[in-house]
Every structure is written in structure tokens, then in C-alpha cells.
Amino acid sequence: MTFPTVSLIGAGPGDPGLITVRGLKLVQQAEVVIYDRLVHPEVVQEAPAEALRIYVGKETGLHYVPQEQINALLVSHARQGLRVVRLKGGDPFVFGRGGEEAKALVDAGIPFEIVPGVSSAIAVPAYAGIPVTHRKVATSFAVVTGHEEGGKDIASRDWATLAATVDTLVILMGVKGLAKIVDHLLSRGCSPETPVAMIHWGTTSEQHTVTGTLTDIIAKATAAGLEPPVVTVIGEVVALREHLQWFPEVVTAQHETLQEMRIRTPRPDETGIAGGTVDDVDSRTRPARTHSQEVP
Ligand SMILES: C[S@@+](CC[C@H](N)C(=O)[O-])C[C@H]1O[C@@H](n2cnc3c(N)ncnc32)[C@H](O)[C@@H]1O
């Protein structure tokens, strides 16, 4: 297999089994691995023992590496002739800043390859038993960010058109902004009974889903103490979960807080995912104990 100087690889949404065959082969030959918070530690461990591992994930309250610095890291290691793997959660081009990093490589004249990944936008709902389309229920879906950036308010999105033309809405980075999004959808004619699911740490042993309607989802998410990362699905497909749920989840009784959760059917082979520091992979085993920022 040929190895371009830099490979921008989608590591999948959490479950380490969801990286592609090509992505895994490239990781196994890497000399430098630069990786994000949502990448499972087992994927990083696939790199040769002598490979340099650089953690550049974003976590609330902690210093993180600015994007320009990540771009510079890619360029400087590639210029040393090293095989550089840039591992990103999900797919690198879905709210992953993969386009910015690829452009930095183009500008620096460095050859690169994109290895698409399984995006959380589809895989996380699937692990919650929610197909984003279904012949009889939904024939279109849109993936949108709920994150406000660069002074751009959530209100600037055309929610009326989205709600009128798309059957299923998948929202990434939408925990903080969800109340506003729900308000916009309701004020633009969405039925208050529209089903909603919020899936926390999907595809991992920490997966937990809160379901409701546009009317009560905010109260339910607040009661459950939901924090990022969460994929939110809005639309009739959510109701299919009742029949299609297949993946064991962390469960909470209605009155319990997240901390009081009990694990019903843990998967012994899964360690979960979390943030950490350079070469600190082994300690990154419990995703729910760290907090990610909703930053692409
Ligand atoms: C910066 S975006 C990156 C998306 C990624 N490139 C992808 O294709 O999945 C991060 C957001 O993706 C969603 N996300 C990623 N992995 C997730 C997971 N395992 N469970 C729930 N949400 C997840 C959350 O909305 C999170 O805030």
C-alpha cells in the first residue's frame, strides 16, 4: 500500500470497530499520529509503539491546541519526511475541519489523502435503533450544526425551510443551543408532538438515549444531565426506535441523575473513550467523566 505524506483519516464515531480497513492500515504504518478527543484509544494504540502520538482534542476548561497550530504540526512533521496520520472522530469532512487542514497541506505543497469515516450523524442514530431514512416515514434528512460560531446565531438558519422540506433533522453540537432550535422549529409550524431523540456517547459503552417530543425534550435532557457529545434526531423516524433498538445502553430511572446510573448490560470488550494528553492513552477509558466542547 502506498502512503501519502499525510493521511486525514476518519476514525468513526466511537466504537473502534467502525474505522475503515484503509484507515486502520494507514494507522498501523504511521510514524506520527495526531488525534482528536472523539477518537477511541484502541484506534490510536494500533499505531506502531515507536510512533509519536500527539493529542490535540478540545475539552472544556482545558488548554487546547488552536487549529493553526494543528495545521502547522501536520506540515512540519510531513516536511521531515514522516508518515503522518491525522485521526479525526467520525468523518473528517463532516464538521471536522478536515477541509481546513487539507487546504493548509495544499498551500504547503504537501501530498495528502482523505480516508472518509463513518460519521456520527448516521452511525449514532443507527446504534440507537433510528434509521435516518425509511421508505414509509422519511425520504430526506439534513445534518446541521447547533453550534454558534463567529457571531452567527442559530436564528440565522432558515428553520422554516428546513422543517418544511426535510423529513429528518440530525443536529450535531446541539446540546447548548437545543432550546433555541426547538423554539425556532415550533414557531415555524413544526408539530409539538414531533419525536426527538438525543443520543449521548453513541456507539460506545456509555451510550445513553433520551427520547421525547419537541414539547418536552428540553426538560427531559436537563433532567438527565445530558452533556456533549450528543447527536439529536428530530422527526418521525425516532419512533422506529421502539422496534429497532438493538445496542445495549446505559439506563437511568426517571428520578436518577447521570451519576446514579447503573449499567444494565455492559460490553466487557469495550473501554469507552475520553480525552487525555499526549501518550496518555491508557487513562482515557471513561468518556462520561470528561466534557467536550461543541467545537468542530
Ligand atoms: C466537531 S463534530 C465532529 C463530527 C464528526 N466529524 C463526525 O463525522 O461524526 C462533534 C460532534 O459530533 C457528534 N458526535 C461525535 N461522536 C459522537 C458520539 N459518539 N456520540 C454522540 N455524538 C457524537 C456530537 O454532536 C459532537 O458534538
Catalytic pick among 15, 36, 91, 198: 36
- The average pLDDT across 226-242 equals 97
For residue 155, how many other CB atoms are within 10 A of its CB? Answer: 12
- What is the average pLDDT value for the chain, to the nearest integer? 85
Residues 192 and 214: beta-carbon distance below 8 Å: yes
Distance CA 247, CA 252 (A): 15
Q: Which atom of ligand 1 is nearest to the CA of 98?
A: 6
What is the model's pLDDT at position 274? Answer: 34
Indicate yes or no: pTM above 0.95: no
Instruction: Give the position of cell 509503539.
Output: 49
Q: Determine the distance separating the centroid of ligand 1 and the alpha carbon of 80, expressed in angstroms.
A: 32
CATH 3.40.1010.10 fits 6-118+274-289, yes or no: yes
For residue 222, how many other CB atoms are within 10 A of its CB? Answer: 12
Residues 115 and 230: beta-carbon distance below 8 Å: no
What is the model's pLDDT at position 62? Answer: 66
Closest CA to 170 of 136, 138, 192: 138
Catalytic pick among 15, 58, 88, 198: 58
Q: Determine the distance separating the centroid of ligand 1 and the alpha carbon of 13, expressed in angstroms.
A: 7
Q: Give CATH 3.40.1010.10 domain extents, the chain.
A: 6-118+274-289
Closest CA to 96 of 75, 73, 119: 119
> Judging by DSSP bridges, how do beta strands 6-10 and 141-145 pair with one another?
unpaired
Distance CA 105, CA 260 (A): 46
Residue predicted with more confidence, 60 or 238: 238
Share of the chain above pLDDT 70, in %: 80
Q: Active site includes 107?
A: no
Q: Determine the distance separating the centroid of ligand 1 and the alpha carbon of 232, expressed in angstroms.
A: 10
C-alpha dist (Å) from residue 256 to 175, 180, 207, 253: 20, 26, 16, 5
pLDDT in tens, 93-142: 999 999 999 999 999 999 999 999 999 999 999 999 999 999 999 999 99
What is the model's pLDDT at position 296? Answer: 66
What is the model's pLDDT at position 288? Answer: 33
The two counts, helices (H) then strands (E), for the chain are 9, 12
Q: Determine the distance separating the centroid of ligand 1 and the alpha carbon of 213, expressed in angstroms.
A: 22
Protein residue whose Cα sits closest to atom 7 of ligand 1: 90
Architecture of domain 121-263: 2-Layer Sandwich (3.30)
pLDDT in tens, 68-98: 999 999 999 999 999 999 999 999 999 999 9
Q: Active site includes 36?
A: yes
Closest CA to 257 of 288, 233, 231: 288
